[in-house]
Chain A
Amino acid sequence: MISCTEFIWVYNELFRYLEERGGEAAVIAFWQGISEHFLGNLREYIAAEGLKGMHRYWSHTLGEEGGRHRMTLYDDLFVIDMHDCPSAKLIHQAGRVDPYPKYCEHCRWLYPPLIERFGYEADMDIISCEKGRCRLTVRKPPDAPARNT
């Protein structure tokens, strides 16, 4: 059994393998597939509670994954400031694998497209993959239904 504690390295190697076999398009197709088929629970949280649901989802996942971050929830805005991403840290600092150069891009393909389908604006700013720093900003447009907060 590949342990969930080893998964991040396997993920990195899978990105590399897919790129070797099918180019960057294959990697992106995989990321889009993950977003479409694997993140059903995030979709459920957003559908039920909007921005609060996002806060709830990432409180759980980031709580389990570790790392250091700050989440900010306003009525119309949800922000994750990632200071020390546990995933990027394993890739870049553990010395276990040769980092896939675009490793952090997976978050850009996984989350904003999914969130935008609910009518929000979402930006994933990767500040430094090596240092594990990024920011996800989700905005509710002014004319969005109130139930989506």
Chain B
Amino acid sequence: MANVHKDFHGALSYGLQFLEEHYGPEGVQEFLSGLADTVYRPLTEAVRAEGLPALQRHWQTIFDLEEGDIAMDLDGDTLLLTVWRCPAVSHLREHGYTVAAHFCEHTRIVNEAVCRAAGYAAEVTYDQEAGCCVQRFWRAAP
């Protein structure tokens, strides 16, 4: 079982803020998109090979470990993930860490990059203040 040290969300938040301040939104986009080929390569390959059930499994594992409050619905070619209580935003707020101005954008950028590399598409609508979001994944048009 993976070790869960939630203060790392605070370090990530600081890192995203640092990136944006020094390299702008383009730097944030470039850095996070690149993770699809490195950190998230196993996920990208799994989604390419197995489709959305691999993504569903990934989110279930992550949110179980982090004790997030979520709901998922896999309906044919679409996976809907509703995050009622984001563990990252909740931890940042509960422990007084600064929440990067565009913290939740990292979810959109990483999701889109992973899905793009796997032949899928993604979108997210979020409320950073409330710490909740709805993420949708579907097979991209050929």
Q: Residues of A with Cβ closer than 8 Å to B?
A: 1-11, 13-14, 17, 21-22, 26, 30, 33-34, 37-38, 40-41, 61, 64-66, 86, 96-98
Q: Chain A: interface secondary structure?
A: helix
Residues of A within 8 A of B9 (CB): 4, 7
Given contacts A4-B66, A21-B27, A38-B97, contact A64 B3 (CB under 8 A): yes
Contact of B22 among A2, A6, A7, A26 (CB under 8 A): A26
From residue B137, how far is it (CB to closest CB) to chain A in Å? 14
Q: Residues of B with Cβ closer than 8 Å to A?
A: 2-12, 14-15, 18-19, 22-23, 27, 30-31, 34-35, 38-39, 41-42, 62, 65-66, 68, 83, 86-88, 95-98, 106-107, 110
**How far, in angstroms, from A127 to B42 measured CA to CA in the complex?**
31
Q: Are B15 and A2 in contact (CB under 8 A)?
A: no
Q: Chain B: interface secondary structure?
A: helix
Q: Are B106 and A2 in contact (CB under 8 A)?
A: yes
Given contacts A3-B65, A14-B15, A21-B27, contact A97 B38 (CB under 8 A): yes
Residues of B within 8 A of A61 (CB): 5, 7
**How far, in angstroms, from A61 to B96 measured CA to CA in the complex?**
17
23 of the cross-chain contacts (CB-CB < 8 Å) are: A1-B62, A1-B86, A1-B107, A2-B88, A2-B110, A3-B66, A4-B6, A4-B9, A4-B66, A5-B2, A8-B8, A9-B39, A10-B39, A17-B19, A21-B22, A26-B22, A33-B18, A34-B15, A38-B11, A41-B7, A64-B3, A86-B3, A96-B41
